[in-house]
Amino acid sequence: MKLVILDRDGVINQDRDDYVKNSVEWVPIEHSLEAIANLTQSGWRVVVATNQSGLARGLFDMHALNAMHEKMHRLVGQAGGRIDAVVFCPHGPETGCECRKPLPGMVLEIAERFNLKLEGLPLIGDSLRDLEAIAAVGGLPILVRTGKGAKTHMSDALPEGTLVFDDLYDAAEHLIHNY
């Protein structure tokens, strides 16, 4: 099975310094919906793994998060794509949970649920912690330069073997044509 894990904020939708707190603030990045549709239509499964510490911080509640994800599913569907699952970490950094990236808890959960091998499993993200979460289990880290990605690209701590693309559209094209 071909499956790609996507970070959400800064990859699919525009990130905000004050957190994406409701469905109105959930605004897709140009061509990201089309990118997911192309993946779907090329036989890829798409799963989202996202840190949502805004829940722990009290910036929004589950009702608002569900509304954001309903909007995401609806817009992706209208574009001709499909997101098979959304996994999120609701905790803050001080909780010490195992799901918050850069820890690989969500990646492991997805791999178990979809019966995937971890080696080479691709994850597309815009932050160092996305890349670290997938590199920790031997997967393929892919950085996009949207969201925080341009800044992340300047880091000298990118995991070895990280691929870099301008945006989700270009990263998806690479996966579609090379795997």
CA distance 163 to 172: 12
Q: How many residues bind Zn ion (CB under 5 A)?
A: 5
Cα 150 from chain centroid (whole Å) = 16
Determine the Cα–Cα distance for residues 123 and 171; give it in Å rounded to an integer: 10
Does residue 156 carry a catalytic annotation?
A: no
- 126 in catalytic set: no
Given candidates 6, 9, 28, 72, which one binds Mg ion under the rule CB under 5 A? 9
Question: Looking at this protein, which amino acid is placed at residue 116?
Answer: L
User: Shortest distance, CB of residue 100 to Zn ion, whole angstroms?
Assistant: 4
Residue in 9, 15, 126, 130 annotated catalytic: 9
| Identity of the residue numbered 147 | G
Q: Which of 7, 101, 111, 149 binds Mg ion (CB under 5 A)?
A: 7
Nearer to Zn ion, 99 or 175 (CB): 99
Instruction: Work out the number of other CB atoms within 10 angstroms of the CB of residue 152.
Output: 23
**Residue 23 near residue 128, CB atoms below 8 Å:** no
Is residue 167 a contact residue for Mg ion (CB under 5 A)? no
| Catalytic annotation, residues | 7, 9
In the complex, the residues that contact Zn ion under the rule CB under 5 A are 89, 91, 97, 99-100
In the complex, the residues that contact Mg ion under the rule CB under 5 A are 7, 9-10, 126-127
